[in-house]
Amino acid sequence: MEDKPITKHLPLTEATYYILLALVTPKHGYAVMQDAEEISQGTIRLAPGTLYGAFTTLENNKLISMVGKEGRRKIYQITETGIRVLLGQIQRMEIMLQSAAKNFDLWQERTAEEESHD
Amino acid sequence: MTNELVTKQKWFWAWQDEKEEAWLAEMAQQGLHLNDVPFPGSYQFKNGEPADYVYRLDYQSLKTKDKDSYLQLFADSGWEQVGEMGGWVYFRYKIDHGEAPEIYSDRESKIGKYQRILTFLAILLPLMVVMMPNIGGAEGYGPFFIILEALAFAIMILLSFGIIQLVRRINQLKKTD
């Protein structure tokens, strides 16, 4: 199994998770900024200095790569390794969510309430 | 705008970036808008209408191939670049509706900036230490030699002070959220 190389990248920070998710399709920096805010439902807002640093780190770790240019903008996309890391993170989050469902009474009550309202 | 240029001299140390940012914003409220930083400690302003701007300084060692996309990312996010000086990049953001814009949205990346400055100063210090015995060459202990040594020593003290200030800033940031 090729899991060993990816576990060193996990867990991802929330910001990194959304950046990788946004880059499943190729985008330039500002598009990632807007996308991340939208798909995180406003929980993640990336400032340009932070995003630039994240791109540098992710590129160095080969989780994203530059796939083109649009004028002065670099276009990035997630790499194969990046996808494996993303899936690894989602797997971890699924386990976290299941643990809440099984072990956190308040969560069970709330989800039961929501289901009865539907 | 009158397009008149006003130059002011003011010195900020590398660890006084927030003070510098506040001063530039204050100038903007007086109608002086940063146009260029031609020399260290020298600020060129355009005289115009008072306005609300947030100034932020970034510190980067940008390779030529990365610079364009870096500046474009800031421009796309609404930050106007108004100058650069030795690794420092000056940005400003016009405030219309009470925004509080930042160039770093999380603690880790903000710490990264101060670590870059720290690294730069930290490299200078051993360089000075190595250079000190060599100043003056084989001339011995003439007055010129003593002055150079004193100067080198003063610079080392200053660098050490700066390094301490930056380490304190980084530790402060590590404690906050």
Question: What are A40-97's pLDDT values in tens digits?
Answer: 999 999 999 999 999 999 999 999 999 999 999 999 999 999 999 999 999 999 999 9
Q: What is the ipTM of this complex?
A: 0.88
Helix (H, G, I), strand (E, B) or coil at A26: coil
Residue B61: count of CB within 10 angstroms of its CB: 9
Q: What is the pLDDT of residue A108?
A: 80
Residue B18: count of CB within 10 angstroms of its CB: 12
Per-residue DSSP letter, B30: T
B22-61 per-position pLDDT tens digit: 999 999 999 999 999 999 999 999 999 999 999 999 999 9
Q: Please judge whether A29 and B72 are an interchain contact, meaning their C-beta atoms are less than 8 angstroms apart.
A: yes
Measured between CB atoms, does A30 come within 8 Å of chain B? Answer: yes
Q: Please judge whether A73 and B73 are an interchain contact, meaning their C-beta atoms are less than 8 angstroms apart.
A: yes
Closest partner residue to A47 (CB to CB) among B68, B102, B108 is B102
Q: Please judge whether A72 and B79 are an interchain contact, meaning their C-beta atoms are less than 8 angstroms apart.
A: no
Q: What are the Cα distances from residue A71, in Å, to A28, B76, B80?
A: 10, 13, 18
State pTM to two decimals.
0.88
Measured between CB atoms, does A74 come within 8 Å of chain B? Answer: yes
Q: Please judge whether B73 and A51 are an interchain contact, meaning their C-beta atoms are less than 8 angstroms apart.
A: yes
pLDDT at A3 exceeding the cut of 60: no
- 8 Å CB contact between B124 and B83: no
- Run of H or E including A65: strand A64-70
| Average pLDDT of span B80-88 | 94
In chain B, beta strands by DSSP E: 5-9, 32-39, 42-47, 53-59, 80-85, 88-94
Helix (H, G, I), strand (E, B) or coil at B79: coil
